[in-house]
Structure formats: structure tokens, C-alpha cells
Chains A and B, each alone.
Chain A
Amino acid sequence: MTGNWQILAAVLLPLLGAIGIAATGTRPNLRETVTLATAGALTLIVWSLLPAVLAGGRPTAELFRPLADLPIAFEVEPLGMLFAALASLLWIVNSVYSIGYMRGNQEKHQTRFYVCFAIALSAAMGIAFAGNLLTLFLFYEVLTLSTYPLVAHKGDAATVRQARVYIGILLATSIGLLLPAILWIYNATGTLQFTSGGILAGHIDGPALGLLLFLCVFGVGKAAVMPVHRWLPAAMVAPTPVSALLHAVAVVKAGVFTITKLIIYVFGIDYLFAEPSAGWLIYAAAFTVLAASIVALRQTNLKRLLAYSTIGQLSYVVLAAAILKPLAEVGAAVHIVAHAFGKITLFFAAGAIYTACKKTEIDQLRGIGRRMPWTMAAFTIGALSMVGVPPTAGFVSKWFILAGAFQSDNFVAIFTIILSTALNAAYFLPIVFRAWFREENVAPPSNHGEAPWPAVLALTITAFLTLAFFVGNQPVLDLELQLVRPQP
């Protein structure tokens, strides 16, 4: 264990937190204090790395050396810094929300829930800071396994069946496709180190490169590029805080983050751009964006709609990365943040509605805006961000992705973005309209108010972040422009 202490602390602290949570399981208030304290400390530690990285530094650390020349090692670079900063910050907000949600719904096994959550966050930090593919793969699998108990939380037969889909697809793709891809890369290049400009040039070329890209993209099942997306709707059986932080931020973003990182640091964008056999990725991503939006149009359950919206939005990131132009790569990174703020808000809102009045179907939401004005205002902001309307975060990322697409005259990407914007509007705006402008249709009229205050506080914060990101995105841009600027 050597190197930068903040990196090691970021990976190990949530694990210590998990032990603390397990030890204080009998006293809920103390247990939640441990969660919040861990989340807060983690955020401080992660964010304290930011100045160094902004200044162009690349802190490194090493944990173990399982294989002779393949250490479990970390190196902070802009993309991972962004992902870690995002996940740690939202963990605090999400923990506040979880307290409201889990207590409001009197969920069982709350200690197990918080323990697994902390382990999942440790894995997310490991993925973010991974310095080589082996490390990334290790934490990728830890993330899959630690989230399984969260998805299966309810424990009844239907939930377990869905959770089986979840773990089945994620493990099968990672062991079946990603692991052979990693070994192939290692065998061909003799290294798995993430390197600016990629490591494959001169080792693998021609159709083999396209095949390797195929193994990587579908091996990273967490990115939910169709047809390996089925686990995401299945995971919606989890309690809403899990859907919010893990299936809108940590897990799915770990997926698209991995793909983006592979494209930039293993394949190399210029090398991949010059290889025609890698061109299929943009079509696969475009297809997923459009198909997911069309499926979302037909959903009647709010969480499932959000799940399909997530699948579409994730492929935006993949699409942006697949454009293989500098501005689009920045767009991919920015969209990871923008979508995270918006989608976590939407999930928080869905969970708050469920906690307040047990409503899960879109049809039941008529007139709910008057009963839960804060929640629905936040929901509206989140929905606008998904569509990409100013002044929300979604607009910023779409701007960069489009700019990147124009850089390479990539009309497939441009067309996809425009069409999917329309589709996003078509499935989100009716919900917003119904919530604010239609009369309630339940008899007898319900008389619920807002969800417990921690939940409302959390969704207000994330809605605010969604708006704030529209004006305050400069630090993120500064960080991510380093990705495409040649290193000094």
C-alpha cells in the first residue's frame, strides 16, 4: 500500500464505514450518523484531490500486486476525478434521502441496506480511480455483487426473479466478454495501464479492433447498450434510493465511464477513428437511444419509464464517446454529470411520491402537483434537463455532443440527438402537464402532503444542482478539456 493517501482513503473509507454501520446496526440514529459522516468525509477527501488534478497532476497509489506486472493500482485522471467527485457528493444527498425513504416506508433489513450501499460506493471509487484495466475489472465486479442484495432487498419471489436477471446479465457479460477482452489486450500489448492516446496502436488493427471494441462495449453490461440493457428495468424492483444513486449514477455511470475510459485510454480516439471496423458503435448507440425512447413512450409505470429513459441517456454518453472527436469526448464527460443530477432528481421525486401516497403509475399522478409542489417542481426541472432545455444541465452536455458531431459531420449522431430530444419531450412533458394542470381522479380524494422532510430536502438540492450546473459548469469543463488537450 503505497502512494497518495487520499486515493487509498477514498477506496478504503467506505469499507470502514460499512463495518461501522454493521456494528451500530441496533441503533438506527447512530447508524445513519455513521453513514452521513462517512459520506461527508469521503466527499472531502475526494474533492481535496481536485486542485492537484486541475493543475495537471496525476496522483497515483498502489494497493496489492496480485500478478507480477499487474498491480491493483490507481491513477487519478480528469474523467475518473469527475466520476468520483460526482458519486461521492451525491452519496451525501442520497443518504439524507434514504433516511427519509427507508423510515417512511418502514423497510426491513435497513442495516444490510446501508452496509451494501457503502461497499458499492467503495467499488465506485475504485472504478473511478483505477489505473489499469485489471483494477477496474476487480472493482467492477465488486460493484455488481455488492448491489445484488440492494436490488433483491424486498426478498419476495418476484423481486428475486428480477434480481436474478440483474446479476445474471451483469456477471455473464463481464466474465464472458470483458474478461477475454482484457486478456486479449494484455496478451497483445503486454500492459493494461491506462495511457493517454491508447495502448493498442501497432498491436491490434483491422477487423480485430472492431471485434475487440464489440467485446468491450457489450462486456460492460452496466452501460446498458442494447441488447444487454434488460437488467436495468429489472433492477427497478429495488428501493428507490438504490435506483436513484446506483441505477442513475454509480452503477450505470460506472458502465459508460468504463466505455469512455477504454475508448480514450486503451483504444485511443484517433486510432479508433481511423479504423472503419469500429464504426458500428455509433449505430448501436444511436439505435439504443431511439429504441429506449420509443419503449419509454409506452410505459405506464413511473420507475420503468425512468429506467428506459436512463438506458437512452446512457447511450448518449456512448454515442458521444463514439463520435471520436475531442469536443464530443468532453460532451460525454459532461453528460455523465448532467444526466446524474437530472435523473437522481427524477428518481427522488418518484420515490417521494411512493412514500407519500404509494402511487407508482403515471396515470395516478393527475393533479399531484398541488399536493406535492416541491416534489413536482423538482420533477419538472429534472424532466426539462432530460429533454435538454435551458436553463438546465442537460442543455450543456447536448451542446457539446452536438458540437462534436458537427466537428466530424456525423449526421447519424446529429439526427439521433434531434429525434431523441423530441421523443424525450413526448414522454416527459405529458407527465408534467398531468401533474400540474389536471384534476385528481381518485375517489375518495386523498389528503396526503409531501414526503418526509429529508426526502424533500434531498430532491430540492439535486434540482438546484441541475439548474446551477447550467451556469456553473466551468470547473467541469476546465477539468475535462485536459482529456483532449495534449499533456505538457
Chain B
Amino acid sequence: MTLTAQLPALQVVLPMLTAPLVAFLRLPQLSWLATTVASATAFGIAVLLTQAVLGTGTLDYAMGGWPAPYGIALAIDEFGALLLLIVTGASTIALLAGKASLDQQIESARQPLFYAGWLLALAGLSGIVMTGDAFNIFVFMEISSLAAYMLVAGGPDRRALTAVFKYLIMGTVGATFYLIGIGLVYMMTGTLNLADMEARIAEVADLKPILVAAGFITIGLALKAAVFPLHAWLPNAYTFAPHAVTVFLAACSTKVSLYVLLRFDFFVFQGNLERHDVQFAGFLLPLALLAILVGSLAAVFERNLKRLLAYSSIAQIGYILLGASCVSLLGLTAGIVHMFNHALAKGALFLAVACIGVRLSRLWVDDLAGLARQMPWTLAAFVAGGLSLIGIPGTAGFISKWYLISAALEQGLTGVLTIVVIVVSSLLAVVYIWRIVEVAYFGSRDAQSPPVSEAPLSLLLPTWFIVIANVYFGLVPALPVDLASAAARSLLGHLL
């Protein structure tokens, strides 16, 4: 077998094996370099895998040569490829940009361990995306979550500890629910392989335990994905985490949980449980709408910059869920495309925040007064990211809004309500983004505060790279849209 055939395994193994090596590197500079190289290589692998998936369709890989359903199978379809791109891309950009910011926030002695944690999180998240085994998902979920708790708590802000404790408790509850769910399914079917599960549930006579399992799994993953009203852990975790960690986690962690949620529900449950698709939509649609409205409203009234963006993330998770709960080709495409586009928009915004964070210690909206004169490039990037978040045409955000509203239009009367919610929350996004823009551009800086200079180039370049990606994928969105519509088709293909 050639090396290319082993790429799916390497995607997980490479960061996972680099992690202990990095932990033993005593020099912080070297550990950053090793981590970044590993992450960039992982991104390269993700790109190659995406090409392969686009060319030949789903890639199957049997770990250790054991065929499914006995061994652990890795399976990468279009949906997985898209998520892999998001996860490895976010990690790489956050590392490249975050050096200056992390050096400031993490003591150099602890840096090697911190980077080892980062790589474990990356390995865990990639593993969740690729594996075709339900229990394996749980294992990778625990790896990534434990690593993420460590990353969030790694910053200098002591309040991160209480935030992380909340995150830990709720995350563990979520993971436990998920475990109970797959336990029930295992009890009834005797298999842990997702594809096998789908086939075997059909043979199960008594579907009650499966239904209970569906409930546990959906709720557990919704907790992990911060679906409203299970989002309470998210705002503070994002707020007090080191800035670079926020960039990484905000772009991908909740989306990976949503990915598992969608795969489980569509692959395993919806085809087998009668009217489960209706239950799925009926349960998640109201939550999605509430998430959008509550998240946006909370962002409007929030005065802490990072928490404001975190609340906006809750609303954006609502958008993804909203698309998915349409249970239609357009709706799922919209939701999945929004995973990609939101990662771009929020990535750009949190990168801009990281740029500001290296110059200012307090990150409340009022602290940005007049900052645009001193950090013009940073604030311009922030504005561009904000426009994408609002969904102005010509940015990636517009593409998702377009598909979402198109999907809602198919739904008839409930669709009109959905459109109203989307429009209202877009306008709320205008309000919360513009409030920051006004303060930064037209506020005047406190006379006593020391002058600040533009963020270092090492931070600005990756930030602008993502900003340009926002515009590029707003004008030429073929890649994410193709992947997303293929993913949506394959999800729907399991509904018969």
C-alpha cells in the first residue's frame, strides 16, 4: 500500500503522535513550530482527502486491516471532508496567527504542554469526523473535550477556571448521555458500527429502547453543540479562553458535535424510526429559531467583545440547525454550507479580536473607542468579518443566507415565520456589529491611555487571509456548496 492510501489514518495519527513529542520539547519556540507543522500537514492531508472524495466518492479505511463491522472503520464522505477542512484549517490559522498572542498569554514553561493539548484536541476533533464507529466517536469526543478544557483554562485569566468547570460539567453530562444512548443501541443491535447499526435496527422488534437512545443521543450532542437552551457553558468558555484558542474552538468545536448529531439522526434513526424525521424537525426547529433570536438579542445587549461574539455564535448554531431541521435538500445544504461560512466569518472576527488582544488587556466594547485610527488594518478586518456575519452580498455569509431563505421559502407558511426570524436576526447582527464599528471609528480614545500600535504582521497576515477567503467564497462558493449539497444528498439518501 502506498502512503496516499493511508492518509485517512494519518489524519488522526499524525497530530496524536506529535502531541507527546511536543510535550517533551523543552523549548517553547520549537514546540510551537512542531505543532504548527503538524497542524499544517494535517490540513494538507485534509485537502488531499477532499480532492480524493470529490474525485471518487466516499473513502473507506479499515483500521489495522480489520474489516467493518468487526474492526474500526474510518469513512470520509463529502460532509466529513468539509468538516476536516474546517477543523484542520482553523487549527492551522489559529496557530500561525496566534503565536504572538499565545506568547503573551501562556507562560513559556507551560507552552509545550499547552501545545500538546492543542494537538490532542485537533486529533480528537478529526477523529470524531472520520470514524464510522459510534463508540470510537465517544472516545475521540472525550479526547478532544478534555484537551479543550485544558486549552480554555490555559489563559492568564483566573475566571477561565470557573468557566471551564461549567464547560466540564455540562460537557461530561453531554458525553454521558451520548454513551447511554449508544449503550442502548448496542444492547438492541449488538453493533457499534454506524452503517451496520442502520441496517440492524430494521431487524429489531421492539423499537422503544431505540427511541430512548435517539432522545439521549440527540440531547447529549445538542449539549455539546451548545444548542439553545443547552448553551450555558459556551459564552464564558469562549470569553475567558486565550484568544487563539477561541479562534480555534469557535470555528469548529460545536460544528463537529452538530455533524455527529446530523449523521446519527439521519443515518441511524430517521430511516428506521417511524416519523422520526418529523419529530426531529418539530423538536429542533423551534429551538433553532429561539437560538437565533435569543443569541442575537443577547449579543445586542452584551458589552464584552468576546462574549458578544460568543452569543452571536449561539445564534449562528441556530442557523445551522434551522437549515437541518427543514429536512430538505436545500435546507441541509444551507445548514452545512453555513458551517463552513460561519467558521470563516467568526474566524475572521475572533482573529481580529486576537489582534486587538495583543495590544489591549481589557476587551470591552467601550475600550475600542477610537481604536480604528491606531489599528486601521485590524479594524478593517473586523468590519469585513462583521459584514460576512451579517450576510452582505459578496461575502460568504450571504451565500448561507441565500440558501437558508430559499429553503424556508419551500416550507410554505412556517417558512414565512422562519424568514421573518432570519431577517430580524440579520438586522440584530447589523446592530451589534455596527455598534462596535461606530465606537472604534468615531469614538475618541481616552487621553490617559497609552497609544497603541497596529498588531504585528504575523497576526495581521493570517487575519487578512481569512478576510479574503470570506470574500472569495462569497463570490466563488463552488467548493463548499458542492461539498454541502453532496453531503445533504447523502444524508437524505438514508431516508426512505
Contacts and interface: CB of A to CB of B under 8 A. Distances in A.
Interface in B407-449: 409-410, 419, 423-424, 426-427, 430, 434, 438, 441-442
A145 B394 CA distance: 12
A183 B434 contact: no
A26 to B, nearest CB: 15
B171 to A, nearest CB: 36
Given A64-B475, A164-B434, A180-B419, A175 B409 contact: no
B394 A138 contact: yes
B358 to A, nearest CB: 26
Interface stretch (A81-89, A165-173, A249-257, A420-428): A165-173
Contact of A180 (B405, B434, B474): B405
B402 interface: yes
Contacts of B73: none
Nearest to A135: B393
A134 interface: yes
Contacts of A156: 442
A184 B434 CA distance: 28
A183 B434 CA distance: 25
Contact of B409 (A66, A145, A164, A183): A183
A180 B399 CA distance: 14
A179 interface: yes
Q: Is the interface of A mostly helix, strand, loop or mixed?
A: helix
B405 A183 contact: yes
B392 A145 contact: yes
Nearest to B403: A67
A138 B394 CA distance: 6
B380 to A, nearest CB: 11
- The residue in B393, B394, B401, B442 that gathers the most chain A C-beta atoms within 10 A of its C-beta is B393
A187 B409 contact: yes
B116 to A, nearest CB: 41
Interface string B100-111: 000000000000
B478 to A, nearest CB: 8
A142 B478 CA distance: 22
B315 to A, nearest CB: 15
A171 B390 CA distance: 10
B423 A176 contact: yes
B393 to A, nearest CB: 4
B402 A175 contact: no
B376 to A, nearest CB: 10
A160 B475 contact: no
Interface in B469-496: 474-478, 481
Given A66-B475, A152-B442, A183-B406, A175 B394 contact: no
- The residue in A63, A68, A156 that gathers the most chain B C-beta atoms within 10 A of its C-beta is A68
B430 A175 contact: yes
A85 B224 CA distance: 57
Given A152-B442, A160-B442, A171-B430, A141 B392 contact: yes
Interface residues of B, number: 29
A160 B438 contact: yes
Interface string B208-242: 00000000000000000000000000000000000
A348 interface: no
Contacts of B426: 175-176
Contacts of A3: none
Interface in A67-98: 67-68, 72
A137 interface: yes
Contacts of B481: 67-68
A186 interface: yes
A149 B380 CA distance: 12
B89 interface: no
Interface string A140-170: 0110010001001001110010001001100
B391 interface: yes
- The residue in A65, A67, A134 that gathers the most chain B C-beta atoms within 10 A of its C-beta is A67
Interface string A187-208: 1000000000000000000000
A308 B405 CA distance: 36
A78 B130 CA distance: 56
Contact of B399 (A66, A137, A141, A145): A66
A176 B474 CA distance: 20
Interface in B228-277: none
Contacts of A64: 475-476
Contact of A141 (B393, B419, B424): B393
B423 A175 contact: yes
A184 B475 CA distance: 22
Contacts of B478: 65
Nearest to B393: A138
B185 interface: no
Given A67-B402, A180-B423, A175 B391 contact: yes
B399 A142 contact: no
A184 B409 contact: yes
B419 A168 contact: no
A270 B390 CA distance: 37
B148 to A, nearest CB: 34
Contacts of B387: 145
Contacts of B476: 64-66
B438 A164 contact: yes
Contacts of B392: 141, 145
Given A66-B474, A168-B430, A176-B423, A155 B442 contact: yes
Interface string B373-401: 00000000000000100111110000101
Contact of B427 (A157, A160, A172): A172
A147 to B, nearest CB: 14
Contacts of A176: 423-424, 426-427
Nearest to B439: A160
A341 B108 CA distance: 67
A175 B393 CA distance: 10
B448 to A, nearest CB: 21
A424 to B, nearest CB: 36
Contacts of A175: 390-391, 423, 426-427, 430
13 contacts: A67-B481, A138-B393, A145-B387, A152-B441, A157-B442, A167-B434, A168-B430, A172-B430, A175-B423, A176-B424, A176-B427, A184-B409, A187-B410
Closest 6 CB pairs between A and B?
A: A138-B393, A64-B475, A160-B442, A187-B409, A183-B405, A176-B423
Interface of B: 387, 390-394, 399, 401-402, 405-406, 409-410, 419, 423-424, 426-427, 430, 434, 438, 441-442, 474-478, 481
Given A67-B402, A138-B394, A176-B424, 8 more contacts: A67-B481, A134-B393, A142-B394, A152-B442, A157-B442, A167-B434, A171-B390, A184-B409
Interface of A: 63-68, 72, 134, 137-138, 141-142, 145, 149, 152, 155-157, 160, 164, 167-168, 171-172, 175-176, 179-180, 183-184, 186-187
